Amino acid sequence: MERIRWGNVILAALGLLALSLASLIIVGVNPPRLSEAVGAIVSQVHPLPVRTELDSVPPVPVPSPTPPSRPMLTETVASAPHLALAGPPRAVPTLAPTPVLDDGGFQSEVAVPQSTGQFPLGTITVAFDKEFPPYSPVVLLYQQQLAEKRGLGVHFVPFDIEDRNRISETRRGELLRSGGFDVLLTTMNSYALWGGPEVGRVTAIIGESAGADKAVVQESVIKTFNDFYGKAVAYSDSSVSEYLLYYMLRAGGVPAEAVIRFGHENLNQAVRRYGDREAHAVVGWTSFDLDTAIKRPGSKVLMTSDQFRVTMDAIVTGTGALQTKPAAVQAFHDAWFEANKVVFEHPDQAAFAMKSWNGNWTGVETTQDLTDALSEFAQATLADNRIMFSQENLPLLEERYKDAEAVWAWGGRNVKQLVRDQDLPTVFDPTFVRKSAQDASLTSTRPPVNPTFHLTAKPEVKGLSPDEQSRLQTVAVLDIKQVEFEQGSAQLSASARQHIEASVIPVLQNTVGTYLKVEGSAGWPEKAGLSEATVNGLAFERARAVQDYIIKFGVPVERLVLGTTLPVCRECKDAGQIQRSNTVVFSLTN
């Protein structure tokens, strides 16, 4: 996933252009030579795609995927004894070229710190986005020799450095499959798009976005997820921003074909399209560019991953490495968890190590830089991983993977159908986390910078007063076609329970700080003596029946706000209208 600050790249290119022009004029270059030089410089800056006028696109019905039951966690996080540091950080790293990968299609000429020498466990190649802070513990693997002391050498491939190592998400998967990479730090969302057990397996969870990813919209046009019909949205292609778009569309029941989609090579281009008023919305991650979009007059943040915890990052280990060098893979995981322990317990040393490696890559110059960078990402500790990779909770991870596939499918992306239900356990390999967890010294005694990893954390939910309930703002009316009741009954039908389990429970389990407004409705047939109070009373009982069912999935009752909504018509004669009123409306609010 591309997480590079493109605003800085554009400014640098413009500066290079100005300096080059000045130098050419000073030395007396003739006009034709000057024109050629200018053309060579400008060609390095990617232009925006051709502008397209906004117009409406008629909605096209798309069936909603139906995920199965969502199991709940069975325990909470525990702490473990303290571990001394592995020694002071290296002051200045030795630079060596990244190795040529043996797939015949990729080579880096960028100098990066690498392990040198002979190692009993050999060497593995680890690829990662250089500017994404949660991946920065790989720096400590080198700086504090956490891998080397275990007999393991590590070669690093940082993406998007000096305009090199720019590799698409799908190409990264191909390199993992071919053995070009042994380990890839990426999102589970991306893995769901190009991955599968023959490519690699998820061997650890890094954490989840907790505010870093956002959707910025033109407030007068888009107020909820349901308002994307016929609107134009810009995003970075095949990245977390495209995934979040499809997540919002699916939650709001908006077919992807009913949205004007502008997929760009990078986030900067997407933001520019929004800034030029060629799009009603832009989806991306925290950066100078997205901050600029937020400040545009009339803009607002519609959704943020602080509430919608749907982007999970993971360590994906290639199938070749799993088969041929499991001991090296285990050593890497042990070193990874020890590096995270250093970040949690000794942030000053961690920040110094990252600055010594290359502050321009990590963006870390001070301890506060590190703290700020990690504040929008909920780190998953070794204790969290131990819980998630337990036999009881693996089904929860498997459901997250299947849900990610369903989101891509909603967007019409060609998700590789490599995994069937009976094969799902092969997507996750718990071997390495479970073995690391046996070494209590690898578990931090202090919490991470952001300890809100929602699959294991137990956040306190505040009940709302009637006044607070009245001020809730709707984010999305969930796409629930019909929650059926028998006429005059508040008992949920089997199909109603299925709809709730498939389309309501996943949203509640993957959101933090949101409330669900449950509004019951009842048909009002033409019948002597049937009053509005009687109809509303039945409607409220239906909302309460839904509440009782939802809390069985571990959802705190405080997150549910009960109410009623008017039937389709009063004193109806039409049986179809009466039946359509026997339902419940679900509105996600904050």
pLDDT digits (tens, 9 = 90+) for 258-293: 999 999 988 899 999 999 999 999 999 887 788 888
Contact 201, 322 (CB under 8 A): yes
DSSP character for 100?
P
CA triple 197-382-178, angle to 5 deg: 25
> CA torsion angle for 13, 15, 18, 24 (degrees, to 10)?
-80
The stretch 535-541 carries a mean pLDDT of: 93
Confidence (pLDDT) at 162: 62
Q: Which residues pair with 111 in a beta bridge?
A: 97
pLDDT digits (tens, 9 = 90+) for 327-386: 999 999 999 999 999 999 999 999 888 888 765 667 788 999 999 989 999 999 999 999
pLDDT digits (tens, 9 = 90+) for 207-249: 999 999 999 999 999 999 999 999 999 999 988 999 999 999 9
Distance from C-alpha of 206 to C-alpha of 210, rounded to nearest angstrom: 13
The stretch 293-319 carries a mean pLDDT of: 94
Higher confidence at residue 573 or residue 177? Answer: 177
What values do phi and psi take at 156, rounded to 5? Answer: -110, 140
In the three-class reduction of DSSP (H, G, I as helix; E, B as strand; rest coil), residue 387 is classed as: helix
Distance from C-alpha of 29 to C-alpha of 590, rounded to nearest angstrom: 62
pTM: 0.79
Plot region of 29 (φ>0 → left; ψ -120 to 50 → alpha; else → beta): beta
Confidence (pLDDT) at 589: 96
Distance from C-alpha of 334 to C-alpha of 141, rounded to nearest angstrom: 10
